[in-house]
Amino acid sequence: MLSGCRPATGTAAEELDATDPIAFLRDRFALPDGVVHLDGNSLGARPVSAEQRLAIAVRDEWGTGLIRSWNDAGWYTEPARVAAGIASLLGAHADEVAVADSTSINLFKLLVAGARLRPGRTAIVVSDHDFPTDRYLAESTAELLGLELRAVAGPDAATDALDDDVAVLALCHVDFRTGAIADAPGLTAAAHDVGALALWDLSHSTGALDVDLAGWGADLAVGCGYKYLNGGPGAPAYAYAAREHHAGLRNPLPGWFAHADPFAFDPRFTSAPGLGRLACGTPPLLSLLGLAEGVASLRGVTPAQLAAKARGLTGLFVELVDRYCPEVDVASPRDAAIRGSQVALRHADAYPLAQALAARGVIGDFRAPDLARFGFAPAYIRYVDVVDAVATLRAVLDGDDLGRPDFTVRTAVT
Ligand SMILES: Cc1ncc(COP(=O)(O)O)c(C=O)c1O
pLDDT over 50 (residue 7) = no
CA 176, 179, 180, 181 torsion: positive or negative? positive
User: DSSP state, 346?
Assistant: E
In a domain, 46, yes or no: no
Kindly state the average pLDDT of the residues 252-268.
98
Q: Is 204 in the pocket of ligand 1 (CB under 6 A)?
A: yes
Report pLDDT for 409: 87
At residue 36's C-alpha, the angle toward residues 33 and 39, to 5°, is 130
Report pLDDT for 5: 43
Q: 104 alpha carbon to ligand 1 midpoint, in Å?
A: 6
Nearest to 53 by CA among 297, 294, 289, 227: 289
- Probe residue for ligand 1, chosen from 107, 203, 211 as the CB with the greatest number of ligand atoms within 8 Å: 203
Q: 203 alpha carbon to ligand 1 midpoint, in Å?
A: 7
Report pLDDT for 1: 37
Q: Is 227 in the pocket of ligand 1 (CB under 6 A)?
A: no
Report pLDDT for 381: 98
Same domain, 292 and 305: no
pLDDT over 60 (residue 2) = no
- Work out which ligand 1 atom sits closest to the CA atom of 234: 10
- Work out which ligand 1 atom sits closest to the CA atom of 204: 1
Q: Is 177 in the pocket of ligand 1 (CB under 6 A)?
A: no
Q: 176 alpha carbon to ligand 1 midpoint, in Å?
A: 9
pLDDT over 80 (residue 73) = yes
In a domain, 146, yes or no: yes
- Work out which ligand 1 atom sits closest to the CA atom of 42: 14
- Probe residue for ligand 1, chosen from 39, 108, 109, 133 as the CB with the greatest number of ligand atoms within 8 Å: 133
pLDDT band for position 3 (cuts 50, 70, 90): very low
Kindly state the average pLDDT of the residues 280-308.
98
Q: Is 49 in the pocket of ligand 1 (CB under 6 A)?
A: no
Q: Is 342 in the pocket of ligand 1 (CB under 6 A)?
A: no
d(CA 410, CA 414): 7
Last residue of a domain, one of 260, 278, 296: 296
Q: Is 104 in the pocket of ligand 1 (CB under 6 A)?
A: yes
Q: 202 alpha carbon to ligand 1 midpoint, in Å?
A: 9
In a domain, 43, yes or no: no
In a domain, 41, yes or no: no
Mean pLDDT of the chain: 96
Q: 118 alpha carbon to ligand 1 midpoint, in Å?
A: 26
Same domain, 131 and 22: no
Q: Buried b vs exposed e over 266-293: b needs ≥16 C-beta within 10 Å?
A: eeeeebbebbbbbbbeebbbbbbbbbbb
Enclosing domain of residue 309: 2-30+301-407
Same domain, 238 and 139: yes
Same domain, 149 and 280: yes
Q: Is 201 in the pocket of ligand 1 (CB under 6 A)?
A: yes
Same domain, 264 and 313: no
d(CA 321, CA 37): 17
Kindly state the average pLDDT of the residues 68-79.
98
Last residue of a domain, one of 267, 296, 325: 296
pLDDT digits (tens, 9 = 90+) for 23-39: 999 999 999 999 999 99
Contact 30, 48 (CB under 8 A): yes
The torsion angle over the Cα atoms of residues 79, 284, 282 and 103, rounded to 10 degrees, is 70
Same domain, 283 and 185: yes
CB half-sphere exposure, 82, CA atoms < 13 A: 32
Report pLDDT for 214: 98
Report pLDDT for 10: 67
Q: Is 414 in the pocket of ligand 1 (CB under 6 A)?
A: no
Q: Is 133 in the pocket of ligand 1 (CB under 6 A)?
A: yes
pLDDT over 50 (residue 382) = yes
d(CA 136, CA 147): 14
pLDDT over 80 (residue 272) = yes
In a domain, 315, yes or no: yes
In a domain, 246, yes or no: yes
Same domain, 289 and 371: no
State the total domains in the chain: 2
Percent of the chain with pLDDT over 90: 95
- Probe residue for ligand 1, chosen from 43, 103, 200 as the CB with the greatest number of ligand atoms within 8 Å: 103
- Probe residue for ligand 1, chosen from 102, 224, 291 as the CB with the greatest number of ligand atoms within 8 Å: 224
pLDDT digits (tens, 9 = 90+) for 335-357: 999 999 999 999 999 999 999 99
Same domain, 181 and 131: yes
Q: Which residue has the higher pLDDT, 289 or 10?
A: 289
Catalytic annotation, residues: 131, 201, 226-227, 373
Same domain, 366 and 396: yes
Last residue of a domain, one of 296, 329, 360: 296
DSSP 58-87: IIIIIIIIGGGHHHHT-TTTHHHHHHHHHH
pLDDT digits (tens, 9 = 90+) for 184-195: 999 999 999 999
List the single range of 10-19, 40-49, 72-81 with lowest mean pLDDT. Answer: 10-19
Q: Is 108 in the pocket of ligand 1 (CB under 6 A)?
A: no
> 183: domain CATH number?
3.40.640.10
d(CA 277, CA 280): 8
pLDDT over 50 (residue 288) = yes
pLDDT over 60 (residue 4) = no
Q: Is 102 in the pocket of ligand 1 (CB under 6 A)?
A: yes
Report pLDDT for 9: 62
pLDDT over 60 (residue 168) = yes
